[in-house]
Structure 1
Amino acid sequence: MITNQQLEKYNEVAVDALGGSKRLDSSRVKLMSAKRQAALETIGQTSDGLHMPESTVDVGAMVLMNAVCNKLLRPIDGSCCQTLPPPNLFQKLSACFFVSSALVLLTIHILGNNRQHRPVPPDVESLGEKKPSTAAAPLGLKAPFQALCRMGVIMAYFYLCDRADVFMKEQKFYTHSTFFIPLIYIFVLGVFYSENSKESKLLNREQTDEWKGWMQLVILIYHVSGASAFVPVYMHVRVLVAAYLFQTGYGHFSFFWLKGDFGLYRVCQVLFRLNFLVLILCVVMDRPYQFYYFVPLVTFWFVVIYGTLAMWPQILQKRANTSGMWHLGVLAKLLGLLVFISVFAYSQGFFDSIFSVWPLSKLFELNGSIHEWWFRWKLDRFAVIHGMLFALIYLLLQKRQVLFEGKGETLFSARISNLLLFFSVITFITYSVWASKCKKKSECNEMHPYVSVVQILAFILIRNIPGYARSVYSSFFAWFGKISLELFICQYHIWLAADTKGILILIPGNPSLNIMVSSFIFVCVAHEISLITNDLAQVVIPKDTVALLKRVGAVGVLALLVQMMTRDSSPAHGT
């Protein structure tokens, strides 16, 4: 009879004929031993000792399908039989750069210790001269290299989480409880940490940080719970993204109007803080710039705001005081910006012809197409200009002393305040009812650019008209608001996974503990990156104009060379 022992002998001979077990590991021949192991485990369940139960056959079928299909489909919640792509040239260069930074830091540290322990010559001590300074020129580089080393460790963690086959991933599965219960938790915490604000002006710094903070936390819960599948939640989160762009228009317009600082130093500072983390991730994680869509969006709108206000005639508050014609001038600029937006929005062919030109296309393409950039840009195309217009109206009303911004004072007279509050509440509720009735995202997205500003203005008035509401803020939300950009970007790879399509699993088998541990690490990393960015911005962006121009030119040439090297390469995968 053909027994298992005889089959094992046949298999041993077959393996030897194919070159032995060692050679099989490097050859194209694959032995499917998992099905045999499953059969040995379930042999007691057979009725006749010959035919295996269906569960064993299913295991064999699944292993075979995984071996054939997973390398093509690349499922999120498993990595069996998937081959990882090897690091490309830029990923290897980035690793060398961070390792070199660590070696330089180690060298500086050793030199510093040697100088500290170097004995002072007797003749120097007798003459009463000062000891040699330990803070020599090379030691002045210690802080930036420390920042680069910290960044290198963080990038290694990013790579292990979402590029190496180290941690598992799982699929998202939306339920109302997974979205709304965490939402209730964070808002209870936010109210618990209420404090008195230092100033009671409309949209003061503490209030805008608070606004960014709770919006960012809502967006994080929205992403990790997969709530985009529920259209009413999707539409409300779309308003939050529009509110971020509204703040971009409001904040930059207010700065340029009040300060009048259009210098290169200010521009480079803003661009560096916005793009530093994303540009590093593009190299380390092998992703295109447009993959992190929000940063290209706010960067583009900052350049548009700067160009609109910096071009002649520069309209500033100190000049606007001399004549009312200046107010008409800034309105004309805003009207020109509105025409510019409308032309781009209603002519996709013209839009494509502009942003498809190399090298500009390298910044906005995703998978070889600018469709994603077109969709993101068009969806919130009016949010920034709404923020700029609101800032202009507010600053003019503030200058004419129409507003009452003292502690505990209502923003307007009692009658006007009550009327505006009533309409704001009605508007807020009306939008929520409309969003709850949305059935198709495409239809609701068509209305979103026109109606989102109403919801934003309603929130601002409700939050600022009552004096007691304007005089307090949540320090809990404000803390998260200060690192909102880093939180938004870092979630892509160390909180979510598989390029945001799945959830990172650090602790398998315990979802609650896993989300707590991964969230703690995620927030700590985002906070650390914020500190690193601020430290490096002081070093990389010098105040001296000539030195800054040289560095900008060098970065421009380097970026052009990199784009030329990757011009003919295949586009990176994205979502």
Structure 2
Amino acid sequence: MKNCFKAWTERDQLKPHLIVVGAATWSIKIHNGSMEALTQYKINLTSITPLLEKLAETNDIYWVLQDPVYEDLLSENRKMITNQRIGLYNDVTLSILNSSTRNMAAKVKILRASKLVAEETIAGSLDGLHLPETTRDINAMILMNSYCNKIVKPIDGSCCLPQPHLSVIQKLTGCFFIICIMSCMVVTYFCHSWRKSKPSTDVESGEEKKPATASLSNPEKLLLSLSKLGLIMGYFYLCDRANLFMKEQKYYTHSTFFIPLVYIIVLGVFYNDNTKETTVLNREQTDEWKGWMQLIILIYHISGASTFLPVYMHVRVLVAAYLFQTGYGHFSYFWKSGEYGISRICQILFRLNFLVVVLCLVMDRPYQFYYFVPLVTFWFMVIYVTLGIWPQTGKKDENGSCSPYWEVVLKLLGLFLCICLLATSQSSFENAFSVWPISKLFEWQGFLHEWWFRWKLDRFAVLHGMVFALLYGALKKGHLLSESKGETLFAPRLSSLLLFTSVVVFLTYSIWCASCKNKTECNELHPYFSVLQILSFILIRNIPGYVRSVYSSFFAWFGKISLELFICQYHIWLAADTKGILVLIPGNPVLNIIVSTFIFVLVAHEISQITNDLVQIAIPKDNYIALKRLLCVAIFLLGILTLSTVEQLNK
């Protein structure tokens, strides 16, 4: 062995890129397990270590720890090969190879995984010494992952992925959060000392003491929120960028999707309450709707259910329903208020994009990676422009009457035509978004294909929501709806007919999904059929008076943080950018899911609170000041995009 390694170090000849080496079992057998052999083994290994380390400077060298044996199955001439003696040889190996003071990158790697695999599979050995072929296959897979993944860099839950280098933006972001955390600690300490030394007059004046957070000034609240956000972002980075926690692959089975689904349905039905309003799609109902949809999407992602076509198509409807709510909600607001100020735009954009922008900086991900947020942001701006252009929709005149319906209908028809024109040609669509810096917001790995796919898949969903809001407003104004508590939405016979039709349509769509042959065919028809499923659900949920007057508080609670749940899952619940599953507790999948889910939900809720606090501080009600801050943010983001582009070009 020494002569072989010496030849590879001295002679200019071809040598392997990857060397896997190990020894001990034969030494134990030949020398009958004597301690003198162990001493000689230590001398020999010490002798070849310098050669191994020299080779390790240009090659990958793995020393394999000796595998355990199944002592009961060993033949008589192998009885001296005991697990105790193997352990002694492995201890010697570790003490010598780990004691080197050379550069860590050049050290010989210890293949510990082989021994761990053998411990789980040795029971399948035929003679107690030689391991089954499955062990060899697993070891080969691990070696190939270790050698190849640093070159091909797969985006999944594969093992042995090298830790990515920090970009300039990540370093600057990290420094910013560290400064915020340290400043918060200093400010908190001095403020606490000052308040403690200040005489309290609350008791003398009889005034009720306010909570500590209520007495904080805006700068203090800002610093505290950014500090908490910095700690949370540190957790994000440790989970999905550092090699601290393991990741595992997803393997879909019907039980992994449908059993959790039944659990959440039972919990959602159990926790119910009366709504404050009994109108169609009231606030509690929309929160409930968002909540159960988000929980289904989370189960869909962690179970890998995208491989099962019927589930995939139903989840596509849920995404369309989110966009439907976007169209319905924003249209209803603009129609009722006629408010198109800059402050309103900034608030919506801030709430939608704050967490995603921070994650783009911390996790070094493009904006389009979190595809749903760019999609919702784009459609919000489309709604704003469509309704905000002259004549503004919903803006009341001197007599207090709203905009004529024909103006709104013309605008919606114009939007419909624009969507149809963009959908006719992918090249034309991509050309419209290929101008820098807009292209940087919608590119994925340098191309706009992903953005085209996402946009086209639900291109009519927002328009459907706007049309529904318009029709609902017209019916309500004409007193054609009965939204009192306990009453059916329409006349009894019409309500029964619509309810029956909705159930039939709902079931028919599910049957069609089950019979669909492939995703491409289903996706082509999805933009036209998804609205039927959404409308059917709305009618089933709202026609019966009792059903309309109750809601699930369990689902509604999750609905209030649905956006944060959707985004946070990418890195602290799932892993490897959603391709794998985060493993906080190895060896116990159920406990791991419980713990990681608990942390994940708490973090999402805390980020929601931080966002609400920051939006009140960052976005003033004065439109002029809001415009100035919006321009400052635009310049900042433009600088980030420029720096990112330059860094990519340098690579």
Question: Normalised by the size of structure 2, how large is the TM-score?
Answer: 0.79
CA distance in 1 between partners of 2:293 and 2:250 (Å): 21
What is the match of residue 97 of structure 1? 176
1:84 and 2:163 are equivalent in the alignment: yes
State whether residues 481 and 489 of structure 2, in contact with CA within 8 Å, keep that contact through their aligned partners in structure 1.
yes
Structure 1, gaps ≥5 residues long: 121-133
Structure 2, gaps ≥5 residues long: 3-25, 28-36, 82-126, 200-211
CA distance in 1 between partners of 2:266 and 2:69 (Å): 55
Q: Which of 523, 528, 535 is 1:457 aligned to?
A: 535
Instruction: Tell me how far 1:62 sits from its aligned partner.
Output: 4.9
- Mapping of residues 228-377 of structure 1, within 5 Å: 228-316=306-394, 318-319=396-397, 326-377=404-455
Q: Which of 153, 168, 176 is 2:231 aligned to?
A: 153
Instruction: Tell me how far 1:205 sits from its aligned partner.
Output: 0.5
Distance 1:172 1:321, change over 3 A: farther
Deviation track 1:281-325 (CA, whole Å, cap 9, x = no partner) reads: 001111000000000000000000000000001121745988898
Distance 1:347 1:70, change over 3 A: closer
Instruction: Tell me how far 1:67 sits from its aligned partner.
Output: 3.5
Instruction: Tell me how far 1:32 sits from its aligned partner.
Output: 2.1
SS at match of 1:415: helix
State whether residues 464 and 470 of structure 1, in contact with CA within 8 Å, keep that contact through their aligned partners in structure 2.
yes
Instruction: Tell me how far 1:251 sits from its aligned partner.
Output: 0.2
1:192 and 2:270 are equivalent in the alignment: yes
1:531 and 2:609 are equivalent in the alignment: yes
SS at match of 2:456: helix
Instruction: Tell me how far 1:29 sits from its aligned partner.
Output: 4.4
State whether residues 366 and 572 of structure 1, in contact with CA within 8 Å, keep that contact through their aligned partners in structure 2.
no
Instruction: Tell me how far 1:106 sits from its aligned partner.
Output: 2.3
State whether residues 411 and 465 of structure 1, in contact with CA within 8 Å, keep that contact through their aligned partners in structure 2.
yes
CA distance in 2 between partners of 1:220 and 1:335 (Å): 35
Q: Which of 251, 256, 273 is 1:173 aligned to?
A: 251
CA distance in 2 between partners of 1:42 and 1:459 (Å): 64
- Mapping of residues 416-435 of structure 1, within 5 Å: 416-435=494-513
Instruction: Tell me how far 1:108 sits from its aligned partner.
Output: 2.0
1:53 and 2:130 are equivalent in the alignment: yes
Instruction: Tell me how far 1:570 sits from its aligned partner.
Output: 3.3
Q: Which of 558, 562, 572 is 2:640 aligned to?
A: 562
Alignment RMSD (CA, Å): 2.9
CA distance in 1 between partners of 2:650 and 2:171 (Å): 16
SS at match of 2:278: coil
Question: Normalised by the size of structure 1, how large is the TM-score?
Answer: 0.90
State whether residues 286 and 572 of structure 1, in contact with CA within 8 Å, keep that contact through their aligned partners in structure 2.
no
SS at match of 2:648: coil
CA distance in 1 between partners of 2:272 and 2:69 (Å): 63
What is the match of residue 20 of structure 2? none
CA distance in 1 between partners of 2:75 and 2:650 (Å): 50
Q: Which of 63, 67, 85 is 1:33 aligned to?
A: 63
1:16 and 2:50 are equivalent in the alignment: yes
CA distance in 2 between partners of 1:508 and 1:156 (Å): 21
Distance 1:544 1:319, change over 3 A: closer
CA distance in 1 between partners of 2:628 and 2:400 (Å): 38
State whether residues 359 and 365 of structure 2, in contact with CA within 8 Å, keep that contact through their aligned partners in structure 1.
yes
SS at match of 1:195: strand
Instruction: Tell me how far 1:53 sits from its aligned partner.
Output: 2.9
State whether residues 158 and 249 of structure 2, in contact with CA within 8 Å, keep that contact through their aligned partners in structure 1.
no
State whether residues 396 and 402 of structure 2, in contact with CA within 8 Å, keep that contact through their aligned partners in structure 1.
no
SS at match of 1:33: strand
Instruction: Tell me how far 1:350 sits from its aligned partner.
Output: 1.1
State whether residues 489 and 495 of structure 2, in contact with CA within 8 Å, keep that contact through their aligned partners in structure 1.
yes
What is the match of residue 221 of structure 1? 299
CA distance in 2 between partners of 1:326 and 1:369 (Å): 42
Deviation track 1:380-414 (CA, whole Å, cap 9, x = no partner) reads: 00000000000001011111211111011111111
State whether residues 90 and 283 of structure 1, in contact with CA within 8 Å, keep that contact through their aligned partners in structure 2.
yes
Instruction: Tell me how far 1:564 sits from its aligned partner.
Output: 1.6
State whether residues 142 and 159 of structure 2, in contact with CA within 8 Å, keep that contact through their aligned partners in structure 1.
no
Instruction: Tell me how far 1:105 sits from its aligned partner.
Output: 1.5
SS at match of 1:32: strand
- Where relative contact order (Cα < 8 A, 6+ residues apart) is larger, the structure is 1
Moved more, 561-570 or 281-290: 561-570
Moved more, 564-573 or 413-422: 564-573
Distance 1:428 1:85, change over 3 A: same
Instruction: Tell me how far 1:422 sits from its aligned partner.
Output: 1.5
CA distance in 1 between partners of 2:442 and 2:331 (Å): 25
What is the match of residue 131 of structure 1? none
State whether residues 209 and 482 of structure 1, in contact with CA within 8 Å, keep that contact through their aligned partners in structure 2.
yes
State whether residues 394 and 402 of structure 2, in contact with CA within 8 Å, keep that contact through their aligned partners in structure 1.
no
CA distance in 2 between partners of 1:116 and 1:60 (Å): 62
CA distance in 2 between partners of 1:113 and 1:174 (Å): 53
Moved more, 421-430 or 242-251: 421-430
CA distance in 2 between partners of 1:201 and 1:332 (Å): 28
- Mapping of residues 375-386 of structure 1, within 5 Å: 375-386=453-464
Q: State the one-letter code of the partner of 2:47.
A: V
Instruction: Tell me how far 1:111 sits from its aligned partner.
Output: 3.2
Distance 1:187 1:358, change over 3 A: same
What is the match of residue 92 of structure 2? none
CA distance in 2 between partners of 1:474 and 1:144 (Å): 34
Amino-acid identity (%): 58
Instruction: Tell me how far 1:115 sits from its aligned partner.
Output: 3.1
Q: State the one-letter code of the partner of 2:486.
A: G
CA distance in 2 between partners of 1:356 and 1:74 (Å): 27
